[in-house]
Amino acid sequence: MSSPSLAQPVGRRDFLKLTGLAGGGFALAFYIRSGGEAAAAETGDFSPNAFVRIARTGAVTIVSKQPEMGQGVKTSLPMIIAEQLEVPWKDIAIEQGDFDEKKYGGQSAGGSQSTPSNYDNFHVLGATVRTMLVEAAAQTWGVPASECRAEKATVIHTSGKSLKYGQLVAKAATLPVPAKDAVTLKQPKDFTLLGTRISQFDTPKIVTGKALFGIDVKLPGMLYAIYEKCPAFGGKVVSANLNEIKALPGVRDAFILEGNGKVKELVPGVAIIADSTWSAFSARKQLKITWDEGTVVNESWESFLKQAKEKSTQPGGKTLRKDGDPDAALASAAKTVEAQYSYPFISHANLEPQNTTAHWHDGIMEIWSPTQIPSIGTGMVNRVLGIAPEKIKLHLNRAGGGFGRRIGADYLIEAAAIAQKVNAPVKLTWSREDDMRHDQYRPGGIHFLKGGVDAKGKVVAWKNHCFTFGEGGSPGSGGSLSGDEFPGRWIANYQADQTMFDTGWPMGPWRAPGSCVFAWVMHSFIDELAHAGGRDPLELRLELLGEKDDMPAGNAGATTKGKQAAASYNVARMRNVLKFAAEKAGWGKKKFAKGSGAGIAFHFSHRGFFAQVAEVTVSKDGQLKVDRFVTGVDIGAQVVNLSGAENQVEGSVIDALGVLMYQELNIERGRTVQSNFNDYPMIRITDAPTKIETHFLKTAFPTTGLGEPALPPVAPAICNAIFAATGKRVRQFPLSRTDLRWT
């Protein structure tokens, strides 16, 4: 996180700092085995660091330390080591490492940081092992190492003689591990693996249905748990018919947990322990619980929406930024536009419902969990259950989707708290309904915008009053607008205010927190101003970005948190990728019939620069079809795994389209209205675009991540295309709230 992005949400950054991960990178010394002793004596393997193991047979194993949730990191990071190690990909086995940050360094998978925080170190790790193998061969032959090279797991001397890595293991294990500067890195021009398309390492297991995910864990003697929580957030158990439940078939136990008073940690509830998932699910239907629902029942989305409308013209709770005199500039503008934008709360809806298996044995809490930031879960177990950190053992399972949801560890602490009361391993499985009713939601928001353009269509004034939602006095993750959010800093007369509604609702990071909604609001309204001023949407955006190559982090009027969130914005990179995407899409060159059109948007987040063009058709009866979607990507110098990279971009495009089209999680009386995919529809294959193109613009900057930053500009590009096609402006999510019919 050394160069946090402009739109990096405050909540998330603080959060990472809290967990000690703000530094991102880690010292290489972490992994090197102490005393230069490179061998794992018991096995005879050569294992000079925590990540690479070469057996005497020549078998090469790479340990993947990051949690895998579909972002492909279990494949991509080992690819870096394999490239430097000179071992063919097909000969490499990958093992998932347990949670052990002393051994591996940081193991957090969030904020699209796995690649940027590990990229350089993983090159060095692979090169270090290769250097030792070359040295081992050189010593065996009594020749200088400079006369030897490594290729296909073999060291070859200029004379032509060669030794396979497996034959060098014994010797290499006796050598000291060279210092970082003493290893020569293979250079990008020589890469044969990085940048190619590699199928995920777990693919054979995925396509044949082998146990892989958290929910697949099975241990000898394992029992199965459900955990019923109050439908109203944070509600407490007053009483429950535990004796009746305990008498049901297959039920082993039932008990109440008090919770620790935090809506995103151990929430109060009733646990049922049974001998199968179905026994537990069935017994649950007989539960009769009296709840104390608390005051959260007074809080509903609709009433907040009404209050926002009433307060929209009043000064905001906080002024995030004020430059120049926006009111005077609006008064003297040639044209002004006013608009209200709103988006609801949404759920993460990981397809694998939350789950964790825990076993309290021998004073140790042993846990198997699909989690994105394992240290949050173990920290919670330590804090809430009072178990010492060294007594907590956490195994990382592949997660059936992350999207930020599994940064929260509520399900993990529930499983551990339940396991403390059960004399056996116990797997807690959330039902889909649990998952949707007890998510940590992406906060909704409402923006009241005013903008003005001069006679030439140049943007001269911008005012925004944003209403956001908080929990316990601070905005939910991704809920807080930054004073530096584009186009803040670029417009001379600019004001952004924010008012927060405090709630008892659990909120958490959702794929590209903040960016995933703010990019839509800003780039939709920029589009409105372009049309008001009679300007081409691309050309106006280029004019807005201006000629400067760099925009320093702002300060005028920014709150402390806003300042922390802000960062220098590389305008040149954005301009270039915007022109690049426009050119790939043929922007301005196509003629569209009525009902079809193109839209454009861009965004910078998670260190990546993205510009996108959508081409859509809206039928007369108002049905949207995305015909073509073009993404220009600048994530720096090197795509690691082209297959995974394209998959992330395509997934982001369709995910964002799905959020736009369908997703809406209503909260009434402090609880969700929706509870499963029948009332909370998600995008299906029938709505996927006909064509998605992803183009990478290679630049000289460090390689960065792809899990999130392709998503934010998608919705505005599509909505701007809808306007071009129909003259209808989409100002509310989901799309069903806007009548798109035309004649």
Partner 1 sequence: MKYTLNVNGQSRSVDVASDTPLLWVLRDSLDLVGTKYGCGVGMCGACTIHLNGVPTRACMTPVSTVGKMKVTTIEGLAAASGKLHPVQQAWSDLDVAQCGYCQAGQIMTAAALLKDNPKPNDEDIDGAMAGNLCRCATYMRIRAGIKLAAGLTTAGKGGAQ
| Residues lying near ligand FES in the complex (CB under 6 A) | 70, 351, 401
Q: Counting contacts by CB under 8 A, is residue 655 touching partner 1? A: yes
Q: Which does 350 bind (CB under 5 to 8 A by kind): partner 1, ligand FES, none?
A: partner 1
Q: Could you tell me the smallest distance in angstroms from the CB atom of residue 512 to ligand FES?
A: 17
Q: How far is CA 651 from CA 120, 234, 627, 708, 709, in A?
A: 27, 33, 16, 10, 12
Q: From start to end of 318-379, where are the E strands?
A: 318-323, 335-343, 355-361, 364-369
CB of 58 to ligand FES, least distance (A): 34
Q: What is the 3-state secondary structure (H, E, C) of 175-222?
A: CCCCCHHHCCCCCHHHCCCCCCCCCCCCHHHHHHCCCCEHHHCCCCCC
Residue 110 lies near partner 1 (rule: CB under 8 A): no
398 binds, among ligand FES, partner 1, none (CB under 5 to 8 A by kind): partner 1
197: partner contacted, choices partner 1, ligand FES, none (Cβ within 5-8 A by kind): partner 1
Least distance CB 608 / ligand FES (angstroms)? 21
Other Cβ atoms within 10 Å of 261 Cβ, number: 11
For ligand FES, the closer of residues 70 and 370 by Cβ is 70
Least CB distance from residue 217 to partner 1, whole Å?
9
Q: What share of the chain is helix, strand, coil (3-state, %, to 5)?
A: 35, 25, 40
Find the part of the chain contacting partner 1 (CB under 8 A) among 383-391, 407-415, 603-611, 678-686: 678-686
Query: Would you say 68 or 634 has its CB closer to partner 1?
Result: 68
623 binds partner 1 (CB under 8 A): no
Residue 323 makes contact with partner 1 by CB under 8 A: no
**Considering CB distances under 5 to 8 angstroms, the limit depending on partner class, which of partner 1, ligand FES, none binds residue 434?**
none
Q: Under a CB-based contact definition with an 8 Å cutoff, are residues 610 and 516 in contact?
A: no
Considering the complex, what minimum distance in angstroms separates the CB of residue 501 from partner 1?
Answer: 29
Contact flag: residue 69 with partner 1 (CB under 8 A): yes
Choose among partner 1, ligand FES, none what residue 287 binds, the Cβ cut-off being 5 to 8 Å by kind.
none
* Angle at which helices 515-532 and 537-545 cross, to 10°: 110
CA–CA dist 317, 480 (Å, integer): 12
From the list partner 1, ligand FES, none, pick the one residue 27 interacts with, judged by a Cβ distance below 5 to 8 Å according to partner type.
Answer: none
User: Tokens standing for 693?
Assistant: 């193109």
- 699 interface partner picked from partner 1, ligand FES, none, CB below 5 to 8 A per type: none
Q: Render 558-603 in DSSP notation, one character per residue.
A: --HHHHHH---EEHHHHHHHHHHHHHHHTTTT----TTEEEEEEEE
C-alpha of 163 from chain center: 44
226 counts as binding partner 1 under rule CB under 8 A: no
644 binds partner 1 (CB under 8 A): yes
Q: Which is nearer to ligand FES, 93 or 351 (CB)?
A: 351
Which residue among 140, 648, 663, 674 contacts partner 1 (CB under 8 A)?
648
Q: Which residue is nearest to ligand FES (CB)?
A: 351
Within 8 A by CB and 6+ apart from 163, the residues are: 137, 140, 154, 155
| CB of 342 or CB of 672, closer to partner 1 | 672
Of 118 and 350, the one with the shorter C-beta distance to partner 1 is 350
**Dist CA 105 CA 117 (whole Å):** 10
Strands (E), 407-536: 426-429, 445-453, 459-471, 474-475, 494-503
- Would you state the structure tokens that stand for residue 423, as one six-digit string? 């004399």
The answer to whether 691 contacts partner 1 (rule: CB under 8 A) is yes
Q: Does 206 bind partner 1 (CB under 8 A)?
A: yes
Q: Which one of the spans 96-104, 291-299, 451-459, 651-659 is the region binding partner 1 (CB under 8 A)?
A: 651-659
Which position among 152, 161, 218, 590 is part of the footprint of partner 1 (CB under 8 A)? 218
Q: Does 693 bind partner 1 (CB under 8 A)?
A: yes
Judged by CB under 8 A, the residue of 179, 182, 247, 351 near partner 1 is 351
Q: Tell me: does residue 212 bind partner 1 (CB under 8 A).
A: yes
Do strands 39-40 and 162-164 pair parallel, antiparallel, or not at all (unpaired)? unpaired
Q: Give the 3-state secondary structure of residue 288.
A: coil
399 makes contact with partner 1 (CB under 8 A) = yes
For position 216 contacting partner 1 by CB under 8 A, the verdict is: yes
Closest CA to 24 of 87, 89, 84, 112: 112
